[in-house]
Amino acid sequence: MAFNGQQLDDGIVDEEDETPSKLPRCNKEMPGDFGSDHQNEAAAAAGRAASERRTSNSSARHRKDSVKKTRPPFPWFGMDIGGTLVKLVYFEPKDITAEEEQEEVENLKSIRRYLTSNTAYGTTGIRDVHLELQDLTLCGRTGNLHFIRFPTHDLPAFLQMGRDKHFSSLHTALCATGGGAYKFESDFLTMADLELHKLDELDCLVRGVLYIDSVMSSGPLECYYFENPTDPDHCAQKPYPLENPYPLLLVNIGSGVSILAVYSENNYKRVTGTSLGGGTFLGLCCLLTGCSTFEEALEMASQGESTRVDKLVRDIYGGDYESFGNMMSKEKRESVSKEDLARATLVTITNNIGSITRMCALNENIERVVFVGNFLRVNTLSMKLLAYAMDYWSKGQLKALFLRHEASSTYRHGALGGSYATTL
């Protein structure tokens, strides 16, 4: 089990107390002593019972001490450092004893207050309060799990904050995954005096997705699909039980796209991927519309109409469509809006992902497809497009599945898996 750069064993084996138990010796017959065999046996039995109680109490104390020794010190963090966003999960303990509170150093209290009393950090850091998981049991402790994100280009500011709050006095290493864990490793060391305990990104992704589903035992199911995704009046989210998830196709849409075939928690493979993902969408939108953020690009796309940009193949033969085909006409180029261009870009990228996913599902003979990733954060448009595409191309055999925490930020599954995956 990995926590804050420490590797822990999944199980704790109680060692036997090596100190021999001292049983009371049988009374020797002395002058005036009327001891008998049954009295001696009773005394011996009483001695054995007392010894067993002492041994049991000793084992309990040993087990408790062993847990405390192997459990990493607070604070508990996990990071997924991607090409566009840094995703961070923070476990806030809620079962702190009075003794622990007295022993806490001021640095630890300061970090906890700062992270939990704010929903924004600087101008770009955000804690998604609506995603918080409360009363979660993790590594024997009860607390809340917080989800925090900020742009990767603001990582230096995060490192400076860690330095200002003397984080390295509490830990010397942090669990991290994602390409940035390698790219920025030297920055963590030089700017914040922290080493990164790097974990496999795909392994963290798989474990994080399974973990988030397993802990959502109360309330609505974590997994869902869209019914009637193209009908605004009748479109609805429907719960989907994920008790027996295998095999499943896991499609992670971030800056690029990775598609994994998952056969069990520890048995999966990367089937394929594409560089045309969220980064392509945002880059093209910035180029075509002048927008500067992902949220701005999505807002523009929600107000646009892609058919003004895309040439419908039925205009020629009848049938499908041709992305950006109308832009070959100067007249039509002059009539489209920036919102139309943003919408057409979103549709193009999303449909391409859906098409590749469908082919992978067919080749791998998998009928369950789960979409995750930063591209789907606050992006209901793409989720409904994927839902329609999966249903249409598979003739109703495939459903595009999503996760409730994914709708806004289960792209943090990599961070979740990075610090807590082995608790699955």
Residues assigned a catalytic role:
201
CB distance 252 to 205 below 8 Å:
yes
Q: Rg of the chain over CA atoms, in angstroms?
A: 29
